[in-house]
Amino acid sequence: MKSYRLHVGGKWKLVYYFLTNISVIILIVSGIFLILPGHIQDTISTGIYIIAGISGLIIGTMAAKIISLNEELHEKVSAWRKRHENIHEYIGNVVHDLRSPVASINMIAEVLDNELNNIDPTYKELIRSVKKSTHAMLDRICCILDNSKIEKGIKVDNIQPGNPFNVLIDVIKKHQILAIEKDIKISVNIPPNVQACYFDGEALDNVFSNLISNAIKYSLPKTKIEIYHKLSNGTIEFFVKDQGLGMTEDDLSKVFGEYAKLSARPTHDEPSTGLGLSIVKKLVEQMDGEVNAESEGKNMGSVFSFKLKTLSNVRSLSA
């Protein structure tokens, strides 16, 4: 959540400097007055009391005005923030409701493309166009929902022990179409009975989805994506390695930042908001894990990984 402060500007900046200068002058005059002889102090004391009273009245009035403006500003900011949140919530709900019908159309188009082989080539091309368009729409819907998550703050509330393999396979199935279109092979070197770990199912799905879709987006056709794991010290680390465009040192320093703009661009002009990896980082950290990114440089591919705690880790901590 952003914080808001009263910033003094324009005429109120002049008031600020005026009050500051008045304060300094009063201190100087007071110091001079104290070192004057007694009879001179008596002569001018009445005038000083009058000046001090008037100055106090002016300063008090100005201070009250600034306080009033500050309260008014906070009220307007609160009202704007509430309206902003309502708009984002409404858009998020609308877009979320659109995801299911678009996904259904995409699935139907995929089935028709795979099953109807003996039809007119024109119709075949139309089906593929629908499939490609709806997949692009789903990608954009996910981008909007990701942005909504960033705005509202990401929270993971349902962390339980389980086997992450099934989540991974479901995610790969969802992204297989894009991989096939670019002739990219996805190789999974993780056994079905892999070590159980603690995760939130929806969050883990989001993490794998972002990493795999990114690997596809930034890879050239006829390349390979490898997904594998490593067990170490009570953690399981998942790796998504591609043979894509790679990253520079500058890219690596900001790759998990919000709206990060990297030197590489999707190879088939796929949409990208720069939010996916920042969401990955937040989700993994919410599951008490950590993320990492490596690359040997431009056109040398990238490796993204994240760690989660296994059951053995939790048992050893509680023992």
Query: Are both 168 and 300 inside the same structural domain?
Result: yes
Under 8 Å between Cβ of 138 and 106 = yes
How many domains is the chain built from? 3
Write out pLDDT tens, residues 278-304: 889 989 999 999 999 999 988 899 999
The answer as to whether 89 is a domain residue is no
- Amino acid 300: pLDDT: 92
CATH number, residue 302: 3.30.565.10
pLDDT band at 185 (very low <50, low <70, confident <90, very high): very high
- Amino acid 16: pLDDT: 65
Average pLDDT taken over every residue of the chain: 80
- Amino acid 12: pLDDT: 58
Question: Among 134, 152, 170, where does a domain finish?
Answer: 152
Q: Which helix (H) or strand (E) holds 225?
A: strand 224-232
- Amino acid 100: pLDDT: 72
Query: Are both 118 and 58 inside the same structural domain?
Result: no
Maximum pairwise Cα distance, the chain: 116
Q: Is the pTM of this model over 0.85?
A: no
Write out pLDDT tens, residues 109-125: 877 887 888 888 888 88
User: What's the burial of 199, exposed, middle or buried (CB within 10 Å: 0-12/13-18/19+)?
Assistant: buried
- Amino acid 310: pLDDT: 92
- Amino acid 48: pLDDT: 62
The answer as to whether 1 is a domain residue is no
- Amino acid 177: pLDDT: 77
The answer as to whether 232 is a domain residue is yes
pLDDT at position 260 over 80: no
Question: Among 152, 171, 198, where does a domain finish?
Answer: 152
The answer as to whether 169 is a domain residue is yes
- Amino acid 132: pLDDT: 78
Domain containing 208 equals 160-318
Give percent of the chain above pLDDT 90. Answer: 27
Under 8 Å between Cβ of 186 and 225 = yes
pLDDT at position 10 over 60: no
Give the position of tokens 């984002």: 88
Query: Are both 148 and 184 inside the same structural domain?
Result: no
Query: Are both 124 and 266 inside the same structural domain?
Result: no
The answer as to whether 133 is a domain residue is yes
pLDDT band at 152 (very low <50, low <70, confident <90, very high): low
Query: Are both 241 and 292 inside the same structural domain?
Result: yes
Query: Are both 74 and 109 inside the same structural domain?
Result: no
Query: Are both 261 and 177 inside the same structural domain?
Result: yes
- Amino acid 46: pLDDT: 64
Question: Among 19, 54, 81, where does a domain finish?
Answer: 81
**Burial readout 230-239 (b: 16 or more C-beta within 10 A, e: otherwise):** eeeebbbbbb
Query: Are both 62 and 141 inside the same structural domain?
Result: no
pLDDT at position 245 over 50: yes
The answer as to whether 238 is a domain residue is yes
pLDDT band at 229 (very low <50, low <70, confident <90, very high): very high
Query: Are both 169 and 308 inside the same structural domain?
Result: yes
